[in-house]
Amino acid sequence: MQKFDALLRYLSTVDRDLLAYLGSSPSSSELPAGHLNDAVWSYVRRPAKRLRPGVLMLACGAVGGDPSIALPAAAAVELFHTWTLVHDDIIDNDHMRRGSPTVHAAAARYGADSLGLSPEEATTYGRNIAILAGDVQTGWSTSLLAECGLSGAVDPLVVLTLIRHLQSKIVADLIMGEAQDVEFSLVGDPALSDIDEEKILRMLWLKTGVLYEFAGRAGAMIGRNTTDLNDPQVEAIASFAGKCGIAFQLQDDIIGILGEEADTGKPKGSDIREGKLTLIVHEAFKNASEGQCATLMATLGNGGATSQELEEVTALLCELGGVERAASLARSYIESAVPFLHSLPESEPRTLLEGWSEFMIDRQF
Q: What's residue 166's pLDDT?
A: 97
Mind listing the pLDDT tens digit of every residue in the chain (365 residues)? 778 999 999 999 999 999 999 999 988 888 888 899 999 999 999 999 999 999 999 999 999 999 999 999 999 999 999 999 999 999 988 999 988 999 999 999 999 999 999 999 999 999 999 999 999 999 999 999 999 999 889 999 999 999 999 999 999 999 999 999 999 988 877 776 889 999 999 999 999 999 999 999 999 999 999 999 999 999 999 999 999 999 999 999 999 899 887 777 777 788 898 888 899 999 999 999 999 999 999 999 888 889 899 999 999 999 999 999 999 999 999 999 999 999 999 999 999 999 999 999 998 77
**How far is 187 from 222, CA to CA, in rounded Å?**
43
**Number of folded domains that form the chain:** 1
Closest by Cα among 81, 237, 91 to 170: 81
Q: What's residue 265's pLDDT?
A: 73
Instruction: Report the SS3 class of residue 96.
Output: strand
Residue type, 353: L
Q: What's residue 10's pLDDT?
A: 97
Q: What's residue 37's pLDDT?
A: 93
CB atoms within 10 A of CB 6: 12
Instruction: Report the SS3 class of residue 101.
Output: strand
**How far is 203 from 179, CA to CA, in rounded Å?**
9
Q: What's residue 260's pLDDT?
A: 80
Closest by Cα among 124, 65, 92, 137 to 347: 65
Domain span at 117: 2-362
Closest by Cα among 87, 88, 105 to 96: 105
**How far is 320 from 322, CA to CA, in rounded Å?**
6
**How far is 67 from 10, CA to CA, in rounded Å?**
12
Q: What is the CATH number of the domain that holds 295?
A: 1.10.600.10
Q: What's residue 122's pLDDT?
A: 97
